[in-house]
């Protein structure tokens, strides 16, 4: 295992150290962005191709002079999607993938904490490329077995779960607390970028040979997986650089005294580093800072409970009291149950469940809805659907900036979710009236729907993953738990849509509005608790507080889930 960090009493050229750290940070930012763009790029084709797996054959029959009967009315569709239950079959492809993804996410973070992220992410991308290509090869192999497509989707969901915990952990290893919302907001645009590129690539081939709509994205993610195996640097210590959570570079002149050795790891977990520049700025050493730049902000501290509730990853005995900080690779990885005990993880997981339900319903069904409401062909519908993702990029960046400026993650989520509900209603009402209305409303709706989703999966997850100490070893597990819960919502969204769409698209939007309001309720509860408007701790002892709040969480979540399901069933 590589050495952790610089010794405290060794001097380094300040310019070299800072340039190298900035160079590697930039590389990690760009490379992980490209990697997860490829993940989403390979998920998008199914939403585009479903419009040709089952299609209206009347125009094709008229052009070819074929008389349609009950027996051949779906002759141009791909079996087994040529039957009347095609919506259920298409929906089953989506939730087979998404449920497998959610299950894989529960164990993916646990594995990522204990393996080399370079190999784990690289192999996951290679296998993701293989499963994506296998779906497209079904076109050339003339496969008409539903079992084949279901198994490929399940395998794809399991291997794609390797991506998110790995890239977030890499980012957490290289970037500290400062401006996390903005950096993560810009970085998280890979989700929408991947959706846009996936829609464009799939749209180019969908009317020619829909198999290529899968094979080309599969080849791209496989190529990046190979590059990941060769070039990814998951930890600063791999290249002899310090961790942003444990050390920083202090610039001093030759005649200044070297800094004192850093304390044990448990002591350093409550402090972080801040660079200091001397007038001449010649040399650098590593020392402990007096600032708390990487500590969770005020709202995060309130939302995640007091420091007494947090789980230390190492103690003084494990650190050995040697005065030598530990590399994040050398710290004990947090367990699944330990991650669940971090205050705020469960609440944000449930909030993401509903937020991702809305987002992924658009991901999988939007091209089909545009084709229905605007009367466009599959290729144009795929291109128009990218406006939703462009709005998502703007919304994610805006959410990050706003949360950094206010210091209130939950309040930012609540505000955007509050605006998302009327925008969903407005888009359903007026989106199909004209192309201009559709373009404007898609962009705005995408911003409000994807903004909270982006904030929770990046900055909030990183805040909670580093709330229990200076280590990033909890990042992958916490991220996997939160995104895994969100993935369950992502699975239920398309599933419910496939069942409800038979009664009309308006009822689908009512279901989405109900899910958005459920996410809004949870985020408001977290925010109000953080502002001490609703704080059980003021009324009862700590023990009773924990019991009551746990009961409130269960009852609140159960009530919200029941409300959404009842709203959906009421519209059937």
The secondary structure of residue 176, as a DSSP letter, is: -
What's the pLDDT score for residue 420?
94
- Spatial contact of 361 and 367, defined as CB atoms under 8 Å apart: no
Token pair, residue 378, equals: 């599959």
Q: Using alpha carbons, select from 570, 420, 423, 428 the residue that is nearest to residue 500.
A: 570
Where b means 16+ CB within 10 Å and e means fewer, 34-52 reads bbbbbbbbbbbbbbbbbbb
- Tell me if residue 248 falls in helix, strand or coil: strand
Token pair, residue 277, equals: 């520049």
CA dist., res. 448 & res. 418, Å (int):
9
- Tell me if residue 349 falls in helix, strand or coil: helix
- Tell me if residue 143 falls in helix, strand or coil: coil
Token pair, residue 179, equals: 């401006």
Q: In DSSP terms, which residues pair with 251 in a beta bridge?
A: 284
Place of tokens 């229990």: 468
Name the pairing type of β-strands 12-13 and 248-252.
Answer: unpaired
Q: In DSSP terms, which residues pair with 408 in a beta bridge?
A: none
Q: In DSSP terms, which residues pair with 283 in a beta bridge?
A: 13, 252
HSE-CB for 367 with a 13 A CA cutoff: 27
Ranges of residues in the chain with a pLDDT under 50 are 1-12, 249-330, 469-472, 533-549, 551-552, 555, 559, 562-563, 566, 568-572
Q: Residue 155: phi, psi to the nearest 5? A: -60, -40
The number of helix segments (H) and strand segments (E) in the chain equals 22, 3
C-alpha Rg value of the chain to the nearest Å:
25
Q: What is the pLDDT of residues 87-137, one digit of tens each?
A: 788 878 887 898 899 899 888 888 888 889 999 999 999 999 999 999 999
Place of tokens 């899968």: 214
Q: In DSSP terms, which residues pair with 287 in a beta bridge?
A: 248
Name the pairing type of β-strands 248-252 and 283-287.
Answer: antiparallel
Q: Where are the domains of the chain?
A: 14-69+79-242+334-541+555-570
Q: Provide DSSP, 215-260.
A: HHHHHHHHHHHHHHHHH---SGGGGT---TTT-EEEEE-TTSPPPP
The model's pTM: 0.70
What's the pLDDT score for residue 246?
60
CA dist., res. 385 & res. 399, Å (int):
22
Q: What share of the chain is helix, strand, coil (3-state, %, to 5)?
A: 70, 0, 30
CA dist., res. 15 & res. 187, Å (int):
26
The 8 Å CB, 24+ separation contacts for 534-541 are none
- Spatial contact of 312 and 281, defined as CB atoms under 8 Å apart: no
CA dist., res. 176 & res. 316, Å (int):
23
- Spatial contact of 17 and 171, defined as CB atoms under 8 Å apart: no
As a whole number of angstroms, the longest Cα–Cα distance in the chain is 94
What's the pLDDT score for residue 424?
94
What's the pLDDT score for residue 265?
38
Token pair, residue 82, equals: 């040529």
Token pair, residue 486, equals: 């969100």
Q: Using alpha carbons, select from 190, 200, 194 the residue that is nearest to residue 381.
A: 200
* Sheet containing 12-13: order of strands: 12-13, 283-287, 248-252
CA dist., res. 92 & res. 80, Å (int):
12
What's the pLDDT score for residue 42?
94
Q: Is 120 exposed, middle or buried (0-12, 13-18, 19+ CB in 10 A)?
A: buried
HSE-CB for 365 with a 13 A CA cutoff: 31
Place of tokens 């008229």: 62
C-alpha 563: how far from its chain's center? 26
Opening angle at CA 347, ends 342 and 351, nearest 5:
140
What's the pLDDT score for residue 553?
52
Q: Using alpha carbons, select from 371, 409, 417, 431 the residue that is nearest to residue 513.
A: 417
What's the pLDDT score for residue 318?
33
Cα–Cα distance list, 525 to 170, 247, 411, 535 (Å): 31, 36, 10, 10
Q: How many of the other CB atoms lie within 10 Å of CB of 518?
A: 28
CA dist., res. 8 & res. 12, Å (int):
11
Q: How many of the other CB atoms lie within 10 Å of CB of 263?
A: 18
Token pair, residue 242, equals: 């310090």
Q: In the CATH scheme, what is the code of domain 14-69+79-242+334-541+555-570?
A: 1.20.1250.20
């Amino acid at each position: 295992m590589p050495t952790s960090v610089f010794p405290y009493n060794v001097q380094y050229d300040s310019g070299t150290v800072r340039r190298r750290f900035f160079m590697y940070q930039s590389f990690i930012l760009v490379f992980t962005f490209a990697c997860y763009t490829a993940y989403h790029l390979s998920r998008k084709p199914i939403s585009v191709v479903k419009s040709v797996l089952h299609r209206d054959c009347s125009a094709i029959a008229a052009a070819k002079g074929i008389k349609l009967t009950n027996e051949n009315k779906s002759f141009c569709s791909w079996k087994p999607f040529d039957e009347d239950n095609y919506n259920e079959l298409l929906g089953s492809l989506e939730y087979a993938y998404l449920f497998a993804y959610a299950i894989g996410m529960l164990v993916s973070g646990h594995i990522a904490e204990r393996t080399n992220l370079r190999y784990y992410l690289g192999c996951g991308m290679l296998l993701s490329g293989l499963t994506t290509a296998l779906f497209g090869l079904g076109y050339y192999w003339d496969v008409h077995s539903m079992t084949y497509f279901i198994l490929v989707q399940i395998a794809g969901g399991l291997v794609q779960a390797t991506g998110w915990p790995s890239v977030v952990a890499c980012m957490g290893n290289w970037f500290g607390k400062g401006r996390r919302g903005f950096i993560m907001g810009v970085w998280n645009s890979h989700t929408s970028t991947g959706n846009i590129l996936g829609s464009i690539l799939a749209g180019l081939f969908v009317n020619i040979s829909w198999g290529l709509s899968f094979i080309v994205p599969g080849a791209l993610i496989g190529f990046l997986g190979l590059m990941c195996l060769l070039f990814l640097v998951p930890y600063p210590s791999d290249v002899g650089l310090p961790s942003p959570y444990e050390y920083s570079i202090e610039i001093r002149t030759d005649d200044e005294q070297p800094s004192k050795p850093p304390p044990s790891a448990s002591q350093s977990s409550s402090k972080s580093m801040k660079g200091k520049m001397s007038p001449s700025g010649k040399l650098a050493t590593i020392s402990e800072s007096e600032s708390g730049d990487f500590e969770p902000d005020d709202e995060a501290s309130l939302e995640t409970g007091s420091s007494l509730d947090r789980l230390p990853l190492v103690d003084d005995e494990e650190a050995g009291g040697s005065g030598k900080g530990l590399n994040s690779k050398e710290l004990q990885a947090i367990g699944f149950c330990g991650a669940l005990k971090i205050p705020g993880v469960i609440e944000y997981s449930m909030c993401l469940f509903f937020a991702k339900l809305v987002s992924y319903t658009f991901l999988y069904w939007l091209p089909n809805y545009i084709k229905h409401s605007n009367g466009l062909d599959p290729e144009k519908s795929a291109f128009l659907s990218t406006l939703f993702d462009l709005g998502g990029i703007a919304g994610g960046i805006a959410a990050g900036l706003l949360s950094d400026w206010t210091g209130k993650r939950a309040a930012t989520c609540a505000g955007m979710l509050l605006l998302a509900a009327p925008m969903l209603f407005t888009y359903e009402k007026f989106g199909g009236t004209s192309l201009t209305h559709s373009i404007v409303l898609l962009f705005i709706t995408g911003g409000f729907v994807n903004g909270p989703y982006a904030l929770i999966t990046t900055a909030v997850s990183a805040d909670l993953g580093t709330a229990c100490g200076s280590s990033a070893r909890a990042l992958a597990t916490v991220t996997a738990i939160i995104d895994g819960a969100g993935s369950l919502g992502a699975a239920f969204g398309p599933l419910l849509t496939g069942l409800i769409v038979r009664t009309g698209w308006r009822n689908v939007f009512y279901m989405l509005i109900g899910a958005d309001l459920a996410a809004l309720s949870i985020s408001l509860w977290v925010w109000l608790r953080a502002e001490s408007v609703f704080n059980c701790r003021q009324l009862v002892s700590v023990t009773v507080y924990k019991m009551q709040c746990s009961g409130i969480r269960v009852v609140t979540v159960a009530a919200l889930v029941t409300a959404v399901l009842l709203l959906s069933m009421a519209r059937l």
